[in-house]
Structure 1
Amino acid sequence: MRTLPPMTSYPQEIKIAAKLLWLRRLSAKEIAEQLNLNNARVVYQWAEKGQWEALLQHETVEQATARRLIALAEKPNKSAEDYKEIEKLGNLLDKLAGIDLKKARTAREKAAGSRGESGGKSKKRKPKNDISEITPEQLEEIRKELFFEYQHRWHANKNQRTRFILKSRQIGATYYFAWEAFEDAIVSGDNQVFLSASRSQAEIFKAYILRFASQYFGIELKGADFIALSNGAELRFVSTNGRTAMGYHGHLYVDEVFWIPDFERLNKLASGMASQKKWRKTYFSTPSVKSHGAYPMWSGERYNERRKTKVEFELSREALNRGLLGPDKIWRNMVTLEDAAEQGCDLFDIDELRNEYSEAEFNNLFMCAFLEAGLSVFNLNDLLAAAVDTNVIWVDFHAKQKRPYGNHPVWIGYDPSRSGDGAAIVVVAPPLKEGDKFRVLEKIVLRNRAWQYQANRIRELTEKYNVQFIGIDCTGPGHGVFEMVQNFFPRATPIHYGLETKTALVLKTQDVVESQRIQWDAEHTDIPQAFLQIHQTTTGKDQITYAANRTSTTGHADVAWAVMHALSNEPLNRNRRKSTWAFAA
C-alpha cells in the first residue's frame, strides 16, 4: 500500500492547487480526493494557516449558487450525486433569474433529440471544451425555444456596434446575454468579455455558460480564469476592479451599468477592450438616477456636448420598446415588466408587485423609471463610492467560518416589519482604528415573519458575532421584537422615532456616506436604492422631517433605516468619543 507524505512534506505546488480549489468552493474532502492527500484534515490546516477564508466574500444566494455550480461543473470524476446537485443548482439559478423552467426543459429535450439521445442525457461525455460538433442550426433551434420576444429582438440587433438596454428587474437579461455570447463564440470564434462590479457577479455569466454546454450538448467546459474553446474563442469574466482587465479584448457585456461607480473610468476600460471596429459593446441595467455618470450616454447628452447643432434623442417608452438606433449610432431599447409580459413573459403577477412596492419604487424597479436625484437626501455618487468588491478588499472577514469576523466588535441595526412590509437586519463593523471605515458585513431581509422568528434571527447573529450594540426601532410593531431581544441582549437600545430622532439618524448617516467612511458589497444594489428613497418632507405643522414613501401597507428603504440604526451608536460629533472598539471583549 502506498504511503503518502505527511503535511509538511507536500510540495508547494500541491498547496497552491489546494488553495485554488478551496477558492472555487470545493469541500476539503473533495480537494483531498482530487489531490490524493492523506485526509481532509490537512486541507483545513492549510486553509486556517493561510487564511484562505479571508479571500472569500459574503455572497448573495445567486452568487453562492453560481460559485458552487462552477465548482461542481469543473470537478473531475463526478459522481451521480454531483450530477444531481448540478441539475438542482442549475434550476435554482434559473429560478433566481426569472427563467421559465418549462421552456428550458423543452429546449433540453429538443437538443437531446437532435443529438439522437433519450431523456436529455448524454451517453458519452465529450472532450473538454471541444465544441466542434455543435452546429449553428442546433444553437438557433435552442435559442428560438428558450427566449421571449424581447430577447429575440436583442439577438436580431446583436450586430449593432453599441447596444444600451434599460430593463426591468428579473426578466432574464443576464441569462440571455450569457447565451448570446456562448452562441457567438461557437459560431464566430470571437472572444467574449463579461464585465461586472465584482468577479463573483461576473461568474454568474460563467455558471450559465457551463450549464448551457452541459445541459444542451453534454460538454464539460473547463477553465479557472477564463474558458478557451476548441475553436480559439476565449470567454473572460472580470471585475471593474480587475487590474488586468484592460489587457483583454472581445465583444463586451457590462451588466447593471447604472449601479457601477465611476462610469468614466468604466467606459475607458470598456473602450480599451472593445476599441477595434469588429468588437461590439452591450450595456444593460435597471435605472438608478439621472445624475449617474452613465445617464449622459443613455440620454444622448454626451453626444451633444461636442456638437454646435444639438440633436434630439427619443427616450420615451413608446419610442424605445421596440428598439431604436440613435443619432450617435447607439441602439437603445427599453423593456419594462409590462412590456415583457406583453411579449410572452408570464412569470410575474404584476398586480401583486404593485401592492408590494410603492408607486415610485415599482416604477424604478420594474418600469424603467429613473429616481429623481434631487428628491433624495443622499447622493448616488457618494453611495456608489461605498460599493466595493469585498472579495478583494475585505481580507479579515471570513464569511464561511462560525465566527466570520473573529472577536472584533460589530453593531446591529433592525428596522421592523409592518403590514405587507419587510423587516431588515444589518450587521455593521465599526472602524477599529482611525482611518478605517464602517462595513456592512451582513444584511437580512424578512417578509411575513412573526416577531419571535425575527428576534431569533437577531439572537443567531449575537452567537455568530461579538455584538456590542443593537439599535431597534421601537415605534409601533418594533416594540414586540425589542422586548424579545432584551431577554437575551439586555443592552439592546430602543429607538423611538420623532422629528429629532429622524433628523439625527439622517444627518449622522449623511456624514458617514459623504465622507466615504462606509463600505458594502457592490452586489447589494438594494442598499443605495434604499437610501435614494429617503427624502425631505414636512409635517402638517410645516416642520421638516424625513420619509421614504412609507404607507400603512407598504414599507420601503428598510435596509437603509436599519443601517442608520446601527450607525446611531456613533455620536453626531464623533470626535467627542475616543474609539475603543478594537479592545471590546
Structure 2
Amino acid sequence: MSSRYPPEIIEAAKGLFLRHITPAEIQQQLGINNVRVIYQWIERHNWKDMLQHETVEQATARRLIHLVEKTNKVAGDYQEIDRLSNLLDKLAGIDLKKAKTAREKAQSDHGDAGGNRKKKKRGVKNDVSGITPERLETIRKELFYDYQHRWHDNKSQRTRFILKSRQIGATYYFAWEAFQDAITSGDNQIFLSASRSQADIFKAYILKFAREYFDTELKGVDVIPLSNGAELRFVSTNGRTAQGYHGHLYIDEVFWIPDFDRLNKLASGMAAHKKWRKTYFSTPSVKSHGAYTLWSGERYNESRRHKVEFDLSRAALREGQLGPDKVWRNVVTVEDAANQGCDLFDIDELKQEYTEAEFNNLFMCAFMEAGLSVFKLDDLLSCAVCSGEVWPDFKPRQPRPFANYPVWLGYDPARTGDRSTVVVVAPPMHPAGKFRVLEKIQLKGAFSYQANRIKDLLGRYNVQFVGIDCTGPGLGVFEQVKAFYPRATPIHYSLNAKTALVLKAMDVIENARIEWDAEHTDIPQAFLQVKQTTTGNDLVTYVADRSSKTGHADVAWSIMHALSNEPLDRKQRRGSIAMAG
C-alpha cells in the first residue's frame, strides 16, 4: 500500500508519529485515505521502537506543542491546551495567580483605542509585528518576581552565571526573556539542554506566551523563525547539529551536564561574537564538576601570575555581582526567592521532608562535598542517556512497556516525612550489556497502597526479582508483597549487607554498566549522598544522612536493592573503596 504514497509523505508521517501524534491525526493532517496505511507503516518500519521515554513535564510540553501548532483546532483542542498550560505551570512551580493577572491585562490591552481586536496580517508566518515592546514590558513587570527582574536588569551582561534553588521559575523566566528579546531586537536565541525533550520545555513556554498573552500562534520544529528575522532554536548537548548556529545562548542545569569542557567550547563557538550573550543557570552538584572552575573563577586564574580573589559568598552574590573575569554571578536560594515575593514554598515543610544536606543542596545553593561521597559525579553523569534514542525496546506507553523481557524491582521504604521509592531495573541481556533504570516511582501512603503499586508493576512487567529493605517500616510492605509474590527477597540492613550493596553499585557505576535517562538528575544527586564512615567500633559502614525522621538517597538505595540480585563477585575488580580490617 505504501507504494501509492511518495517517500516524502511516509517520512512526514514518521516525523509526526515520533512526536507522539496519533495515527488518526496523522491521517487527517497529511490527507491519507485510510488510517490502516499508517498502522502498516508503523509496523513495517518499526516506528514504535523509536519513541522516546518522557517525564511528566516533558510529556506535557510535547503534547502542548503539538496542539498549539495544530492547524485545524476543535473546541476540545483549546480546552486541552488550557489544561496543559496550567499543568505545565504547576510542574515548574509557577504562580498561577500572577499568570492569570498578566493574561487578563494582556487581553485587555490587545485592542485599539476603541477596544476592537487588532487584525493580523494574513499569509505571514509567525507574525509578531503586532507585539509591541510596551506590551511585552507591561506583562513582564506583572508576571515575575524581584529576583527575575534582577536577571532582566542584567540581561546586557556578556556572561551570566546563576546558581539557583530548584523550582523558582528560572526556565520559565529565561524562555520569556529570550522571547521578548527576539521580538524587540530581532536577535537569534538558542536554548541548549541535556536532551531534546528538555529543550522542548523552553519551546512549550514560548508557544504558550505567544498564544496566551498575544493571541499569536508560532510554529516550527527545531527552530521557530519569526517574521522579523529572529530565530528561536532548540538544541540538545548530545546533538552535533548545534554547531554552526549563532545567537544569545541559554544553558540550563549546567552543573548536571557531563563533559563541560566540550559543552563550553560548543557554547563559545555559538556566542563568539561580542554581540551575543551567554547565560548559564543551574542547581549545584559538586565542586569537582567541570563547570565549577568557571563559577569559582579558578579557570580565569589558571594562567595568571597574579591571582584574583572571587567572593562567592551568598551575601556577596545575593544581589548579583560582576566578577574580575566579567562574569555576572548571582545566587538565589529558596529563602531569597521567598523574601523577594515568591510565596509558592512552605520552607518549614521542605526542611521536614528533606535531610539537611539535601535541603541545602536543592534549595540553598550549597554544593555537595564530593570528597565525602563514595561515588564520583563524573562516573554518575556518564550513566545518563537519552533513553528514547538508545532504548528502542522500551515503550513506556504500552501495556507491557518492556514486552516479556525480565526486570528487577528495588524498594526503599519511607521514614517519617520521607518518600518510599520503587525502581524498575532491566538487567543486562548479554555479558557486554548494561543495567537500565526504566522507571522510578515515589510513593506515600499506607502499606497496602504501596504494596498494590508494586503489584501493578507485576502486571506490567515480567518481574523476576523484588528486593525490599525490611529494616523498620519496610517490613509492613514486604509482608503484603510476599502474599502475592512469594519470591520477594527481604534485605536486612547490617554492616555487611550495606557494604555489599554499596560495593556492588560502585562496581556497576565505575565500569559504566548502568544507564538512566538524563532527565533524572535526582539519581546522581542521591548517589552522591552516600558516604563512607565508621562505627563506634571503627568498622566501615555507609550512610546517607538517614535517620528515624528523614531517610534519604531513596532512589539510590532502591537501585542498589535491585542490583543486589547480581552476585558481588561478577567482576574481579571490587571498586576503589578502602575496607577497614
Q: Is TM > 0.5 for Structure 1 vs Structure 2? A: yes
- Residue 53 of structure 2 corresponds to 58
Deviation string, structure 1 residues 269-303 (Cα, Å, up to 9, x no partner): 11111111111000000000111110010000110
- Residue 87 of structure 1 corresponds to 82
Deviation at 1:388, TM superposition (A): 1.2
State how far apart, in whole Å, the 2-side matches of 1:246 and 1:327 are: 29
Conservation of the 8 A alpha-carbon contact between 1:26 and 1:72? no
Matched, 1:451 2:447: yes
SS in 2 for 1:244: helix
Deviation string, structure 1 residues 397-455 (Cα, Å, up to 9, x no partner): 222222222222111111112221111111111111122111111110113x1111111
- Residue 515 of structure 1 corresponds to 511
- Residue 149 of structure 1 corresponds to 146
Matched, 1:478 2:482: no
Conservation of the 8 A alpha-carbon contact between 1:414 and 1:565? yes
Q: 1:102/1:389 Cα in 2 relative to 1: closer, same or farther (>3 Å)?
A: same
In the alignment, structure 2 segments of 5+ residues that lack a partner are 573-581
Q: What is the aligned counterpart of 1:504 among 488, 497, 500?
A: 500
In the alignment, structure 1 segments of 5+ residues that lack a partner are 1-5, 577-585
Matched, 1:347 2:347: no
Q: What is the aligned counterpart of 2:298 among 276, 295, 301?
A: 301
Conservation of the 8 A alpha-carbon contact between 1:29 and 1:39? no
Q: What is the aligned counterpart of 2:253 among 252, 256, 261?
A: 256
State how far apart, in whole Å, the 2-side matches of 1:528 and 1:400 are: 25
State how far apart, in whole Å, the 1-side matches of 2:457 and 2:494 are: 28
Deviation at 1:485, TM superposition (A): 1.7
- Residue 318 of structure 2 corresponds to 321
Q: 1:567/1:276 Cα in 2 relative to 1: closer, same or farther (>3 Å)?
A: same
Q: 1:494/1:124 Cα in 2 relative to 1: closer, same or farther (>3 Å)?
A: farther
Question: Which TM-score applies when normalising by structure 2?
Answer: 0.95
* Residue range with higher mean Cα deviation, 43-52 or 261-270: 43-52
State how far apart, in whole Å, the 1-side matches of 2:341 and 2:315 are: 18
Q: 1:232/1:123 Cα in 2 relative to 1: closer, same or farther (>3 Å)?
A: closer
* Residue range with higher mean Cα deviation, 223-232 or 481-490: 481-490
* Residue range with higher mean Cα deviation, 9-18 or 460-469: 9-18
State how far apart, in whole Å, the 1-side matches of 2:112 and 2:443 are: 44
Q: Counterpart amino acid of 1:471?
A: G
- Residue 370 of structure 2 corresponds to 373
State how far apart, in whole Å, the 1-side matches of 2:440 and 2:260 are: 26
- Residue 579 of structure 2 corresponds to none
SS in 1 for 2:243: helix
Matched, 1:360 2:357: yes
Deviation at 1:536, TM superposition (A): 1.1
Deviation string, structure 1 residues 195-240 (Cα, Å, up to 9, x no partner): 0110000110000000000001111101112111111111111110
Deviation at 1:121, TM superposition (A): 12
SS in 2 for 1:252: strand
State how far apart, in whole Å, the 2-side matches of 1:402 and 1:10 are: 31
Q: What is the aligned counterpart of 1:216 among 185, 196, 213?
A: 213
Conservation of the 8 A alpha-carbon contact between 2:110 and 2:118? no
Deviation at 1:489, TM superposition (A): 2.0
- Residue 199 of structure 1 corresponds to 196
Deviation string, structure 1 residues 56-90 (Cα, Å, up to 9, x no partner): 22211111110110111111101111011111101
Q: 1:329/1:575 Cα in 2 relative to 1: closer, same or farther (>3 Å)?
A: closer
Q: Counterpart amino acid of 1:301?
A: E
Q: Counterpart amino acid of 1:503?
A: T
State how far apart, in whole Å, the 2-side matches of 1:116 and 1:129 are: 19
Percent identity of paired positions between Structure 1 and Structure 2: 72
- Residue 538 of structure 1 corresponds to 534
SS in 1 for 2:306: coil
Deviation at 1:267, TM superposition (A): 0.5
SS in 2 for 1:291: coil
Conservation of the 8 A alpha-carbon contact between 1:128 and 1:220? no
Matched, 1:277 2:274: yes
Conservation of the 8 A alpha-carbon contact between 2:145 and 2:341? yes
Conservation of the 8 A alpha-carbon contact between 2:120 and 2:130? no
Conservation of the 8 A alpha-carbon contact between 2:111 and 2:118? no
Question: Which TM-score applies when normalising by structure 1?
Answer: 0.94
- 1:552-567 equivalences under 5 Å are 552-567=548-563
- Residue 567 of structure 2 corresponds to 571
State how far apart, in whole Å, the 2-side matches of 1:272 and 1:28 are: 40
- Residue 102 of structure 1 corresponds to 97
SS in 2 for 1:573: helix
State how far apart, in whole Å, the 1-side matches of 2:547 and 2:125 are: 56
Matched, 1:402 2:399: yes
Deviation at 1:24, TM superposition (A): 1.7
State how far apart, in whole Å, the 1-side matches of 2:410 and 2:506 are: 17
SS in 1 for 2:352: helix
SS in 1 for 2:498: helix
Q: Counterpart amino acid of 2:138?
A: E
State how far apart, in whole Å, the 2-side matches of 1:216 and 1:421 are: 40
- Residue 43 of structure 2 corresponds to 48
Deviation at 1:92, TM superposition (A): 0.7
- Residue 545 of structure 2 corresponds to 549
Q: What is the aligned counterpart of 1:418 among 410, 415, 419?
A: 415
Q: Counterpart amino acid of 1:140?
A: E
SS in 1 for 2:20: coil
Deviation at 1:44, TM superposition (A): 3.0
Matched, 1:31 2:33: no
- Residue 140 of structure 1 corresponds to 137
SS in 1 for 2:240: coil
Q: 1:487/1:7 Cα in 2 relative to 1: closer, same or farther (>3 Å)?
A: farther
Conservation of the 8 A alpha-carbon contact between 2:111 and 2:117? no
Conservation of the 8 A alpha-carbon contact between 1:58 and 1:442? no
Q: 1:130/1:568 Cα in 2 relative to 1: closer, same or farther (>3 Å)?
A: same
Q: Counterpart amino acid of 2:400?
A: R
SS in 1 for 2:341: coil
Deviation string, structure 1 residues 519-544 (Cα, Å, up to 9, x no partner): 11111000000001111122233321
State how far apart, in whole Å, the 2-side matches of 1:121 and 1:58 are: 45
SS in 1 for 2:392: coil
* Residue range with higher mean Cα deviation, 151-160 or 10-19: 10-19
State how far apart, in whole Å, the 2-side matches of 1:225 and 1:565 are: 40
Q: What is the aligned counterpart of 2:389 among 388, 392, 398?
A: 392
Deviation string, structure 1 residues 13-34 (Cα, Å, up to 9, x no partner): 2221111111222222211221
- 1:116-127 equivalences under 5 Å are 116=111
Q: Counterpart amino acid of 1:141?
A: T
Deviation at 1:458, TM superposition (A): 1.3
Matched, 1:238 2:240: no
State how far apart, in whole Å, the 1-side matches of 2:361 and 2:401 are: 34
State how far apart, in whole Å, the 2-side matches of 1:467 and 1:224 are: 39
- Residue 495 of structure 1 corresponds to 491
Provide the aligned length of Structure 1 versus Structure 2: 569
Q: 1:41/1:420 Cα in 2 relative to 1: closer, same or farther (>3 Å)?
A: farther
Conservation of the 8 A alpha-carbon contact between 2:285 and 2:368? yes
SS in 2 for 1:283: strand
SS in 1 for 2:191: strand
